[in-house]
Amino acid sequence: MSKKVTITIDGRRISAHEGEKLLWVALDSGIYIPHLCAIRGQDRPPAGCRLCFVEVGGRLGPVTACTEPIREGMVVRTRTPRVDRLVETAFRLLLSDHRLDCKNCTKNGRCELQVIARERGLGPDRDPLQPLPAKTYIDESPRTFVFDPGRCVLCGRCVWVDQQVAGVGAIGFSGRGIRRRVTTFGDSNLAESPCTECGLCVEVCPVGALFFKLPAKKTKGDS
Amino acid sequence: MQEKDLIPVLERIQKKYGYLPLQALKSVARELGVPAVQVYGAATFFKQFRLNPPGKYQIEVCMGTACYMAGGQVALDSFERRLKIGVGETTPDGEFSLERVACVGCCNLAPVAVVDNVVEKNVTPTRVDGILLSLGLSEENKENKENSNAQGK
Amino acid sequence: MRRENREREAGVMAVPSAEKFYAMLRSAAVAGLRILDEVPVIRIGTATCGIAAGALLVRDTFRDELNKRGIEARVMEVGCMGHCYAEPMVIITKPGFPSLCYNNVDEELAIHLVDDFLARGDPCYEFAMAALEPNDFFPTFQDFPRGIYEEKMILGDCGLIDPQEIDHFLARDGYLALCKALQTESNQVLQEIKKANLRGRGGAGFPAGEKWDMARKAPGEIKFVICNGDEGDPGAFMDRNILESNPHLVIEGMIICAYCVGASRGFLYIRSEYRQAVCRMERALEQAREKGLLGERILGSNFSFNLEIFTAAGAFVCGEGTALVKSMEGKMGIPEHRPPELAESGYLGKPTVLNNVKTFCYVPPIILRGARWFRDVGTPESPGTAVFALAGKISAPGLVEVPMGTTLRQLIDDVGGGVPHGKRFKAVQIGGPSGGCLPEQALDIPIDFDSLLGAGAMMGSGGIIVLDEDDCMVRIARFFLNFTQEESCGKCTFCRLGTRHMFRILDDIIRGKGEMGQLETLRRLAEDIKIGSLCNLGKTAPNPVLTTLRYFFDEYRAHISEKRCPALSCPELTVYFIEPKRCSKLCNVCIGSCPVEAIFTRDDGLKAIDQEKCVKCDNCLKACPPDYSAVIKLSPLSLLDERLGKNK
């Protein structure tokens, strides 16, 4: 194990192992940094959601905490005007592509977008960005869960657990740009894919894109 | 065959069939020992790959900066109007497919279109009609297509 | 112990043998080409641009006509000299005459040249464009305005040598730099590149020597060298031209690089759309292998290097190093966070040097002539030359090589001959989707890696598009944003969604649906995307928007508050109108030109446009005879009602 170093986050002195990624060090010390795509233990974090910006002393611009290894004497600020502005823009961009319907969403109250909004005081009101056309297709084919791409934020956690943890390989990314999406081979239903319904992907989904069917609905579907 | 050979392998398949049949993607995945969905991801990521059979005649309209400024969009509109298909589509009879390409590097001949691998220069709406006529899309055919389209609706 | 001995032996032997080996190759090449001094030689430019202009037909005509008349001559296919406006271009070298170059050659002129020049002895000066070497009869390319500025460090042989025959390259001291390098300690070769301060020509301008040094020092036995030929900027064709016209120069540069960093394998990553380039490069590799210039024990030395082509499957984002490497590994071309840099962990996790086509081209001449020679050209911070592809509203489009530090004004007005048809210059787009649009007042900025950044643009890989008064700047910004949002890999939020939103706002504006408030959103998004994106595609994507907002704000305002396109270019805000006062009863040209039968004859015999049917294709405007010039464009749309009201 590498040696322990001491860093300062928002004025708090924290000691942790050198080289550990800043995001996890902060979260473990109870300091919140917004994040969606990062997965603990990943060798090279995807750094795709662009939410975990912080400012580090000696660095010109904001950096992503998920990719930043800690070193002795590092001084970190999680809230600066520059950081707040970037996080707000990234959050609003994600929200513009997320079908907002919290009332009817099973993740209501546990959704990580809601956590970010609460922590950073961001609401859907006064949003200058027009929502993008929502994806309407919903895959209800699995016995135990539902996939709703209209709510997906493309964090990639489900793909990671499916391929790296469960070792199934039922889902992956396809397309590019605005057409990038989580999908099965040939865009088939999940029921026709190698999916084993282990449920790991549903557990890691930070939003309501993957959710377990309610027991009542399940019986209805079975009958 | 290793994972790193995926792109060349897909290129070879497309060269042979003109597109990437899903069945072939599945076999490639099996050969490489990777999830099929990963192969599908790569096949949908790169512009060069297509998952549907192309038309007998492939028309690619250049949308590089110089062509765009010189009327590339007008040329593309003309092809769309005459063939009654959009970009990335094939006519119902399988004769023509229409694509947009980024830049073929013939900026001084703008606007250009690549028709069956041959570069056509100064593609005005009149030239579009000329090109299609030479490929067998006659006025008569056009009428027929209009009719069949109308019936289809 | 024994192995060490053997290696030492081989090392000792390598010193004289590489030189001898090379001398043999070269003298054989020279001997084989002696025939070219004895018979007339007809060089035809058959790079993609030449072929598109009809060069193959010209080539066949020359062959047939020469055969018919039984004239002994060589018809040779060469690459491109960069005078795109003059394609198809033919160079005729006949003993006793200066080599003469003819422009825009068609079948008729080809026959004429065979009859008059090759069969008899009249060089047809009236059709000639320039002579290649100074003489008493005809001006040379050096006498052209662009000849004064041009300085060819890497394009010198393009268009003169046959790219498909390695002997042509060898006869011009090709691979001599490699021979010299192999007899020098590799670190010393690297130091020469460092001393030259050769900066990467892909756009970022990172010093190549430092990159190589990093890879050289990185631990590990297996290292790679990759040439980035994934030229994706719309409007740029420098790399294609070099790959097609002088492939061996690229190969030689790559081998020297590999020698410096200790790489044993390399790849040429070329766009699959560049079929001709791939084809010629394949042949070049084959010939280099045959001659012992590539593969095991190059030129008899201890050094081995294998090089192969990887055809890219089409994704602009793969111009970004980490994405390029991912695509070579069989994955989607999606960029990754840096560090680690490719020089530490690149292809298959091994140290990898990735440089642009042009960067490798500078290596052989630097090794041959020394760092001083290179640094004497250009500016202290950006030494050497730069290659630009001039296109758009410019009199002499083409490929030019000028010293770094040349100003945009010199490049456009003097080298490119200015804006044609008496139109007014409006802006120059430099650097493609990552660059910006600069106005008249920025034209005196010298072009180098650093100066343009202050103006909001960047040198990029060398695409330059000139725009005139007929081009709408909002539309140009929308064009580039459409490009980047289509080419975004989609992984990071700012690029995937941010460029999409920017595009939607710009699209609203050119359709006359924009609001002034949206401009603030646009600017804010642009600034945030620039800082927040993961890779350089995203970080530079807002540049076309930021520069047009900065220099052409009036045009944005006109589109939004007046619903008017000042350049009369946006179809949604512009109508075509036939001025009855100028129209003639006797002329029907416009009617025939209309692809949708929108033009009709009025009761009084004059023509008018049915606005419902009009698709705004510009055909009638072009077709209307200059004597009448009756077709005009009007913006905003409300002007049409005024006109119609007035004329009723």
pLDDT tens across the length of chain A (223 residues)? 689 999 999 999 999 999 999 999 999 999 999 999 999 988 899 999 999 999 999 999 999 999 999 999 999 999 999 999 999 999 999 999 999 999 999 999 999 999 999 999 997 767 789 999 988 899 999 999 999 999 999 999 999 999 999 999 999 999 999 999 999 999 999 999 999 999 999 999 999 999 999 875 444 444 3
Chain A touched by C492 (CB under 8 Å): yes
CATH number, domain A96-222: 3.30.70.20
Report the residue from B10, B45, B106 with minimal CB separation from C333. B45
**Token pair in block for residue A130:** 């027009």
With respect to residue C418, please indicate whether it lies within any of the assigned structural domains: yes
Taking an 8 Å cut-off on Cβ atoms, the answer to whether A180 and C489 are in contact is: yes
Give the mutation candidate from B14, B84, B107, B124 for the C interface (greatest C CB count, under 10 A). B107
Q: What is the pLDDT of residue A17?
A: 96
3-state secondary structure chain A: CCCEEEEEECCEEEEEECCCEHHHHHHHCCCCCCCCCCCCCCCCCCCCCCCCEEEECCCCCCEEHHHCECCCCCEEECCCHHHHHHHHHHHHHHHHCCCCCHHHCCCCCCCHHHHHHHHHCCCCCCCCCCCCCCCCCCECCCCCEEECHHHCCCCCHHHHHHHHHCCCCCCEEECCHHHCEEECHHHCCHHHCCCCCCCHHHHHCCCCCEEECCHHHHHHHHC
Whether C494 and C623 share a structural domain: no
Q: Which residues in A lie closer than 8 A to residue B37 (C-beta atoms)?
A: 169-172, 174, 183-185, 193
In B, which residues are within 8 Å of A175 by CB distance? 44-45
Contact C327 B46 (CB under 8 A): yes
* pLDDT of amino acid B139: 52
Whether residue C538 contacts residue C488, with contact meaning beta carbons closer than 8 Å, is answered with yes
Nearest chain B residue to A169, by CA: B35
On whether both C426 and C529 belong to a single domain, the answer is no
Q: Give the total residue count for chain C.
A: 648
Q: What is the pLDDT of residue C646?
A: 61
Please give the average per-residue pLDDT across C137-151, as a whole number.
89
Task: Give the phi and the psi of residue C272 in degrees, each rounded to 5.
Answer: -70, -20
* Domain end among C375, C394, C420: C375
Average pLDDT over residues C274-298: 95
Q: Do B78 and C397 touch (CB under 8 A)?
A: no
Verify that C361 and C258 share a domain, yes or no.
Answer: yes
Residue of C nearest to B72 (CA): C617
Report the CATH number at residue C525.
1.20.1440.230
End-to-end distance of chain C based on CA atoms, in angstroms? 104
**Window 335-394 of C, Cβ < 8 Å to A:** 336-337
CATH classification at residue C587: 3.30.70.20
**In the structure encoding, which two tokens stand for residue C269, read together?**
């990553």
Are C407 and C452 a contacting pair, CB within 8 Å?
no
The mean pLDDT of C551-566, rounded to a whole number, is: 97
Neighbours of chain A (3+ CB pairs under 8 A): B, C
Average pLDDT, chain C: 93
Q: Which fold has domain B57-152?
A: Glutaredoxin (3.40.30)
Instruction: Grade residue B138 by pLDDT with cuts at 50, 70 and 90.
Output: low
Query: What are C411-433's pLDDT values in tens digits?
Result: 999 999 999 999 999 999 998 89
For B35, which of A163, A175, A176 is closest by C-beta distance? A163
Fold for A4-89, please state it: Ubiquitin-like (UB roll) (3.10.20)
A185-189, C348-352, C615-619, range with the lowest pLDDT: C615-619
Q: Is C13's pLDDT higher than 60?
A: no
Interface contact B69, partner C, CB < 8 A:
yes
**Chain C residues 515-544 with a CB less than 8 Å from chain A:** 517, 520-521, 524-525, 528, 531-534
pLDDT bracket for residue C11 (50, 70, 90): very low
Encoding tokens for residue C220? 């590990």
Note whether residue C94 is domain-resident: yes
Find the helix or strand (DSSP H, E) in which C634 lies. strand C631-634
Do residues C475 and C570 touch, judged by C-beta distance below 8 A?
yes
Q: Which residues of C touch A94 (CB under 8 A)?
A: 493, 497
Average pLDDT over residues C573-589: 94
Mutate to test the interface with B, among C46, C48, C49 (most CBs of B within 10 A): C49
Instruction: Please name the residue of chain C whose CA is at the shortest distance from the CA of residue A96.
Output: C497
Q: Using CB atoms, list chains with 3+ pairs below 8 Å to chain B.
A: A, C
Q: To the nearest whole angstrom, how far is the Cα of C26 from the nearest Cα of chain B?
A: 34
B36–A174: do the CB atoms touch at under 8 Å?
no
Of the candidates B25, B26, B37, the beta carbon closest to that of A172 is on: B37
- Which of A169, A175, A193 lies nearest to residue B44, judging by beta carbons? A175
Instruction: Give domain limits for chain A.
Output: 4-89, 96-222
Cα gap C439→C425, rounded to integer Å = 9
Q: Check whether residue C245 and residue C284 sit in a common domain.
A: yes
C485 and C554 belong to one structural domain: yes
* Cβ <8 Å between C493 and A93: yes
Token pair of C66 as six digits = 């020469």
Give the total number of structural domains in chain C: 5
Q: How far is CA C528 from CA A38, B12, C496, C497, in A?
A: 21, 41, 13, 12
Chain A residues whose CB is inside 8 A of the C496 CB are: 154, 177-178, 180
Q: How confident is the model at residue B14 (pLDDT cuts 50, 70, 90)?
A: very high
Is B87 an interface residue toward A (CB < 8 Å)? no
Contact C521, A128 (CB under 8 A): yes
Q: How many CB atoms lie within 10 A of CB C531?
A: 17
Over residues C460-487, the pLDDT tens digits come to 888 899 999 999 999 999 999 999 999 9
> CA of C593: which chain B residue's CA is closest?
B126
Residue C144 has pLDDT above 90, yes or no: no
The DSSP symbol for B90 reads B
Identity at C599, one-letter amino acid code: I
C465 and C535: one domain?
no
* Rg value, chain B, Cα: 18
C614, C598 contact by CB (below 8 A)? yes
3-state secondary structure of C276: helix
Write out chain C residues lying below 8 Å of B65, CB-based.
Answer: 234-235, 391-392, 429, 432, 463, 465, 476, 479-480
Mutate to test the interface with B, among C84, C318, C331 (most CBs of B within 10 A): C331
Domain assignments of chain B as residue spans, ordered by start: 3-45, 57-152
Which residue, C330, C350, C375, sits at the end of a domain? Answer: C375
User: Which two tokens mark C79?
Assistant: 């690459």
- Domain residue limits at C482: 474-561
